[in-house]
Amino acid sequence: MNSHTVRQRLAGPAGAIECALDMPAADPVGVAIVCHPHPVHGGTMDNKVVITLARAFLQIGFRTVRFNFRGAGESEGAWDEGRGEVDDALAVIAAHRGPGEPFMLAGFSFGGYVAATAASRLPEAGRPQRMVLVGPSTQKQQVPPVPADTVVVHGESDEVVPLAATLDWARPQVLPVLVLPGVGHFFHGQLTLLKNVVVQQLQRPKV
């Protein structure tokens, strides 16, 4: 992401997992882990939406961890249709979250499905403080219900995951969805808006 990004590999269930770590300007207040879009369709931890999410977390003081799912980038292993990718996320969470450290989890597109599924498998005491799902893959994957304070952002003109699919998923949960007018799946030309929206939502005091 920048000259200060640290690349490292950690042991995962299918072999080494490639990670990218960034630190905020001051002492970090916690850790945020970001999951990338579908690896079969070219998704990696260097996707611009994933980097934008990491920058949003850095802005509010969190150290950030991006990582490549098995078979993507320098991560070992092969695509496992979403099952093993959730295991990869859980391995990264276990390796990078300090005991009692504030923890946030985010994902874009397929990564939103992975983030939500991984969070649902954590013990209640170990679940993320907040989650951010951007253009989550609600049409092709079975995304589990998420906490009421989850930040969900979707483009009105999303050509990959129809907005209607995410509204259908959110409706039974009475879960708000932030819709960015005229914006497509990859947020072309609107990454600054996306970052600002995420920062505003995460800094908003809980009611």
Tell me the pLDDT tens digit for each residue of 122-160. Answer: 999 999 999 999 999 999 999 999 999 999 999 999 999
User: Following DSSP, what letter does each residue of 126-167 receive, concatenated?
Assistant: GS-SEEEEES--TTTS-PPP--TT-EEEEETT-SSS-HHHHH
Tell me the pLDDT tens digit for each residue of 51-86. Answer: 999 999 999 999 999 999 999 999 999 999 999 999
So where are the chain's domains? 6-203
Answer yes or no: are the C-beta atoms of 32 and 117 closer than 8 Å.
no
Answer yes or no: are the C-beta atoms of 143 and 116 closer than 8 Å.
yes
Higher pLDDT, 2 or 30: 30
Is the model's pLDDT at 206 over the cut of 90?
no
Answer yes or no: are the C-beta atoms of 191 and 52 closer than 8 Å.
yes
Instruction: Dig out the tokens for 85 from the structure.
Output: 């990718």
- The mean predicted confidence, pLDDT, of the chain is 96
State pTM to two decimals.
0.97
One of 3.40.50.1820, 3.40.50.300, 3.30.479.30, 3.20.20.70 is the CATH number of 6-203, namely 3.40.50.1820
Q: How confident is the model at residue 1 (pLDDT cuts 50, 70, 90)?
A: confident
C-alpha distances (whole Å) from 57 to each of 51, 72, 109, 162, 172 are 10, 23, 18, 26, 29
Residue bearing tokens 């994902």: 107
Q: How confident is the model at residue 207 (pLDDT cuts 50, 70, 90)?
A: low
Tell me the pLDDT tens digit for each residue of 90-129. Answer: 999 999 999 999 999 999 999 999 999 999 999 999 999 9
Distance CA 141, CA 134 (A): 14
For 101, counting Cβ atoms within 10 Å of its Cβ (0-12 exposed, 13-18 middle, 19+ buried), the class is: middle
Report the helix count and the strand count for the chain, using DSSP H and E. Answer: 5, 8
Is the model's pLDDT at 205 over the cut of 80?
no
